[in-house]
C-alpha cells in the first residue's frame, strides 16, 4: 500500500510502533531510497545511510545547539546544500526562528518535491527550491546568506567536487559577516579528514568540530 504524503492520524499513531514506508525507489546509481514515517517524523534513508530524520536529525540538531542565541535572533537567510527532506529547516523553524528565508538545493527532483510538500505542511513556505547540483550552484551563486548548511552525500561519501578549494572559497564569499558554514562529513580515511580540516582553515578563521560516531560536524564561522 502506498500512503499519501499527508498521512492520517491513525498512520501517525501507528508510526510510533514501527516505521511506515511511504515511498521507495531505486536511484540512478542503483541505490535503494526509502521515505518513511517513523515516530511521527519523516525519515529518508538508503540501505546504509540516513539522509533526513525530521527534527531528530542529529548532525544539525547538535550543531545548532553550539551556536550562540544571539546568532538565531539575527538569522534571516539560510542556504541548504543537500536538502533531503528539509530537516535543517524543520529544526530551525521549530526550535529557533520561524522567520527565515530558505534556499534549498537538491539534485534529486523527487526528494526536493517531497521536501517542499512536507515543509509546506509545517508552515515553512518562505523558500526557493533549486533542483540542481550543489557544486554548480555555488560556482554560479551571486547571493549572500547568514547560514550555509552543507549535507551533500552519495551514500556515505561526500562527492569529490565538494572537497575542493573552489567550493569552500565560494561558500566563504557567500557568507555574511559573522555567518556560519556548517558541514556534515563522514570519516572514512584519516588523510582525507586531515586534508578537509586544513582546507577549511584556509577560508575560515574559527572552526569547531563535533564528533558523533564516524560523523564530523564542522562549524565554520566567517570573519
Please state, in angstroms and rounded to a whole number, the distance separating the CA atoms of residues 126 and 57: 21
Q: Which residues pair with 37 in a beta bridge?
A: 20, 42
Sign of CA dihedral 165, 166, 170, 173: positive
Q: What is the mean pLDDT of residues 4-23?
A: 85
**How high is the pLDDT of residue 3?**
47
* 59 in Cβ contact with 217 (< 8 Å): yes
- The three-class DSSP label of residue 102 is strand
Query: Rounded CA gap, 200 and 178, in Å?
Result: 16
- What are the structural domains of the chain? 9-52 (no CATH), 53-221 (3.40.50.150)
CA–CA distance, 84 with 87 (Å, rounded to integer): 7
The stretch 190-201 carries a mean pLDDT of 96
Residue 189 vs residue 29, higher pLDDT: 189
Cα–Cα distance measured from residue 169 to residue 33, given in angstroms and rounded to the nearest whole number: 32
Nearest 5°: phi and psi at 205? -75, -20
Mean pLDDT along residues 186-209: 96
Specify the residue for cell string 530551525: 92
Q: Quickly state the pLDDT bin for 2 (edges 50, 70, 90).
A: very low
Per DSSP, the three-state class of 178 is strand
- How confident is the model over 163-185, as pLDDT tens digits? 999 999 999 999 999 999 999 99
Q: Please state the rounded mean pLDDT for residues 64-71.
A: 96
Please give the pLDDT value at position 28: 60
The predicted model scores a pTM of: 0.92
Percent of the chain topping pLDDT 90: 80
Contacts of 196 (CB under 8 A, 6+ apart): 163, 185, 218
SS3 state of residue 172: helix
| CA dihedral of 65, 167, 45, 118, whole degrees rounded to 10 | 70
Please report how many Cα atoms fall inside a 13 Å half-sphere around the Cα of residue 186, on the Cβ side.
14
Angle of helix 190-201 versus helix 165-174 axis, rounded to 10? 40
Amino acid at each position: 500500500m502506498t500512503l499519501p504524503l499527508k498521512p492520517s492520524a491513525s498512520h501517525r499513531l501507528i508510526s510510533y510502533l514501527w516505521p511506515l514506508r511511504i515511498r521507495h525507489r531505486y536511484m540512478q546509481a542503483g541505490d535503494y531510497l526509502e521515505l518513511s514515517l517513523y515516530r511521527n517524523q519523516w525519515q529518508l534513508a538508503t540501505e546504509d545511510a540516513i539522509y533526513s530524520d525530521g527534527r531528530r536529525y542529529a548532525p544539525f540538531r547538535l550543531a545548532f545547539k553550539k551556536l550562540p542565541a544571539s546568532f538565531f535572533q539575527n538569522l534571516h537567510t539560510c542556504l541548504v546544500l543537500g536538502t533531503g527532506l528539509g530537516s535543517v529547516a524543520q529544526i530551525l523553524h521549530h526550535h529557533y526562528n520561524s522567520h527565515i528565508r530558505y534556499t534549498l538545493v537538491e539534485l534529486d527532483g523527487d526528494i526536493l518535491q517531497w521536501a517542499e510538500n512536507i515543509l509546506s505542511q509545517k508552515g515553512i513556505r518562505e523558500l526557493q527550491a533549486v533542483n540542481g547540483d550543489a557544486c554548480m550552484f555555488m560556482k554560479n551563486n551571486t547571493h549572500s546568506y547568514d547560514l550555509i548548511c552543507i549535507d551533500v552525500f552519495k551514500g556515505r561519501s561526500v562527492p569529490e567536487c565538494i572537497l575542493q578549494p573552489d567550493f569552500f572559497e565560494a561558500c566563504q564569499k557567500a557568507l555574511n559577516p559573522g555567518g556560519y558554514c556548517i558541514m556534515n562529513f563522514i570519516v572514512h580515511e584519516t588523510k582525507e579528514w586531515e586534508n578537509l580540516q586544513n582546507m577549511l582553515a584556509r577560508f575560515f578563521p574559527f572552526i569547531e568540530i563535533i564528533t558523533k560516531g564516524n560523523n564530523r560536524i564542522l562549524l565554520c564561522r566567517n570573519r
